[in-house]
């Protein structure tokens, strides 16, 4: 496939930011209801990470052993960071800031460089958005194909994988001759995302999540019940049963815990799943009123996400795949590429059960709804940055974001087979999450101060956190995160940075992707600098 040189998005940004100084400042939006913000944060958290990424991460990182660092990460990283983000987001919103640069500046006004650390809180979500939206569109396509029976002719792992590759445009076969269908569903999905973002917090995101989160949880319960009542589908292999399928996820192999990649993957999964450590929760909570209970809201949204991930996500795809294909096949499918368990194994399973067409449709609609509630949240930090720091109207900000992200989305679409999507997923969906989580934990505990953070956290709160969490937030969480980063740099960081494991045929694609990411990050830093210079002139 020939390389396509994408035009720089910078001219479009500059064009849309012309004459913004003359616009009147408008009051920031607020969430309409308390349940609305909880469902919105839960919707952001409940996404493809719960039902597709989590099972694949578990399989690729030792099965049950993965759950040990996973739960440790949840208790010592996920929950504390959720409360920290809810707290400092509400605090920054009181100063008119909805993104990390402005919030960090509000927390340490004497340090003029601190705001640049917050750029990661805009950069990370954009990077995830530009590939997440494309994956999300596959779900809409598969929901349609499940109803019309388009993949019914694929009855083996090999043929179903061929169907997926044909759909993705990686090969031309009897199912697809080009990427046309995939691109059509991408356009529909992208349009739906921008439409929700265009209508804002109350009329867009909150209304979407008020409907979609209950529906997707209902679909998840129905599918989990169906899987847990399958019995033993392969009588010739009695060991391929439900108990062993659940055991594949929960039985630990302690030897893999020596590998820092498992701990980094577990921490990254917690952050990816909870939408913590990336700036989304911070942005959402900036639209809260001062009296909103952030402790209870953070706990509720986090536990709702864990219910969806462990109880529903862990009860559907891995046990079902184990019962129909056995443990060795699960590992081979998961290792063949991200999301293959969901797009290759699950369609085959639905073909083998009664009313499989209906359950397949529910599965992909569930995933699509989970995906869109997450993707609109990924776009919100960039939207808030334009609205708050440059006083751009929401409609103009939505149009600007649509132009920029649409252009950037072309790279993972056109160069999917060259490792571009996996590269974006690592830097945006794992490394940046852990890095930014480390920064914001240090900001809250040491720069802003643990006493001020603790007091701010309990403003308007009916639930008092155990005092042990004050110690955890100040010491355990940042040390845990720094340790994970340190081991990663020591064991895998240098080879990853030097692209030691990149296939020769993909070298230039990955290098250009990294240069593009560096350019995007630099551009965001320049806009942060411009925003604060503009504020200084006004003062």
Express each pLDDT in 75-99 by its tens digit. Answer: 888 899 999 999 999 999 999 999 9
pLDDT exceeds 90 at position 286? yes
Report the CATH architecture of 10-415+424-538.
Up-down Bundle (1.20)
The predicted model gives 457-467 an average pLDDT of: 91
In the prediction, which pLDDT does 247 show? Answer: 80
Q: Whole-number mean pLDDT of the chain?
A: 86
CA distance 167 to 183: 9
Q: Pinpoint the alpha helices (H) of 286-419.
A: 294-306, 314-335, 340, 346-351, 356-390, 394-414
* Res. 10 pLDDT band, cuts 50 70 90: very low
What helix, strand, coil percent values describe the chain, rounded to 5? Answer: 75, 0, 25
In the prediction, which pLDDT does 25 show? Answer: 52
81 phi/psi in degrees, rounded to 5: -70, -35
In a 10 Å sphere around its CB, with 0-12 CB exposed, 13-18 middle and 19+ buried, how is residue 79 labelled?
buried
pLDDT exceeds 50 at position 359? yes
Most confident segment among 55-64, 75-84, 268-277, 442-451: 442-451
* Res. 352 pLDDT band, cuts 50 70 90: confident
Domain boundaries, the chain: 10-415+424-538
Is residue 281 within 8 Å of residue 38, measured between CB atoms?
A: no
CA distance 377 to 391: 20
* Res. 45 pLDDT band, cuts 50 70 90: confident
CA distance 242 to 321: 10
* Res. 333 pLDDT band, cuts 50 70 90: low
* Res. 193 pLDDT band, cuts 50 70 90: very high
pLDDT exceeds 90 at position 270? no
The predicted model gives 67-80 an average pLDDT of: 88
Most confident segment among 12-21, 241-250, 271-280, 450-459: 450-459
* C-alpha count within 13 angstroms, C-beta hemisphere, residue 287: 27
pLDDT exceeds 50 at position 459? yes
Model confidence over 130-159: pLDDT tens digits? Answer: 999 999 999 999 999 999 888 888 888 889
């Amino acid at each position: 496939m020939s390389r396509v040189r994408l035009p720089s998005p910078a001219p479009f940004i500059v064009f849309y930011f012309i004459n913004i100084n003359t616009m009147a400042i408008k009051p920031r939006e607020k969430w309409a209801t308390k349940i609305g913000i909880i469902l919105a944060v839960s919707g952001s958290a409940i996404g493809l990470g719960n039902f597709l990424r989590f099972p694949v991460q578990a399989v690729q990182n030792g099965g049950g052993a993965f759950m040990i660092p996973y739960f440790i990460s949840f208790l010592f990283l996920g929950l504390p960071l959720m409360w920290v983000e809810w707290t400092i987001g509400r605090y920054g919103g009181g100063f008119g800031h909805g993104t990390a640069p402005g919030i960090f500046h509000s927390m340490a006004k004497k340090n003029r460089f601190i705001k640049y650390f917050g750029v990661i809180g805009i950069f990370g979500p954009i990077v995830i958005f530009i590939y997440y939206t494309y994956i999300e569109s596959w779900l809409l396509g598969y929901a349609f194909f499940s109803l019309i029976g388009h993949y019914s002719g694929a009855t083996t792992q090999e043929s179903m994988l061929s169907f997926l590759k044909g759909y993705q445009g990686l090969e031309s076969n009897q199912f697809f001759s080009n990427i046309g269908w995939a691109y059509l569903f991408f356009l529909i999905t992208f349009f739906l995302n921008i439409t929700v973002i265009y209508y804002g917090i109350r009329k867009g995101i909150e209304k979407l999540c008020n409907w979609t989160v209950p529906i997707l949880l209902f679909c998840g319960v129905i599918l989990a019940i169906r899987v847990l009542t399958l019995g033993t589908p392969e009588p010739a292999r009695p060991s391929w049963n439900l108990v062993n399928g659940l055991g594949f996820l929960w039985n630990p192999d302690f030897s893999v815990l020596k590998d820092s990649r498992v701990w980094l993957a577990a921490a990254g999964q917690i952050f990816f799943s909870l939408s913590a450590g990336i700036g989304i929760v911070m942005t959402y909570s900036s639209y809260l009123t001062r009296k909103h209970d952030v402790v209870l809201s953070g706990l509720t949204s986090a536990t709702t996400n864990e219910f969806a991930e462990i109880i529903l996500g862990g009860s559907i795809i891995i046990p079902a795949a184990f019962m129909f294909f056995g443990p060795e096949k699960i590992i081979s499918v998961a290792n063949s590429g991200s999301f293959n368990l969901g797009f290759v194994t699950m369609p085959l399973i639905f073909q083998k059960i009664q009313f499989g067409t209906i359950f397949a449709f529910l599965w992909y609609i569930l995933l699509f709804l989970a995906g869109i509630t997450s993707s609109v949240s990924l776009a919100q930090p960039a939207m808030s940055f334009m609205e708050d720091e440059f006083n751009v109207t929401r409609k103009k900000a939505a149009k600007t974001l649509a132009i920029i992200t649409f252009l950037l989305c072309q790279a993972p679409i056109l160069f999917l087979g060259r490792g571009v999507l996996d590269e974006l997923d690592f830097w945006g969906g794992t490394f940046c999450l852990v890095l930014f989580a480390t920064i914001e934990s240090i900001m809250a505990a040491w720069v802003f101060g643990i006493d001020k953070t603790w007091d701010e956290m309990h403003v308007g709160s009916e639930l008092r956190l155990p005092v042990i969490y004050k110690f955890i937030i100040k010491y355990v969480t940042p040390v845990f995160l720094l340790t994970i980063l340190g081991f990663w740099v020591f064991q895998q960081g240098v080879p990853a940075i030097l692209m030691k494991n990149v296939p020769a045929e993909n070298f230039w694609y990955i290098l250009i992707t990294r240069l593009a990411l560096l350019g995007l990050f630099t551009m965001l830093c320049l806009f942060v600098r411009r925003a604060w210079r503009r504020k200084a002139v006004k003062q």
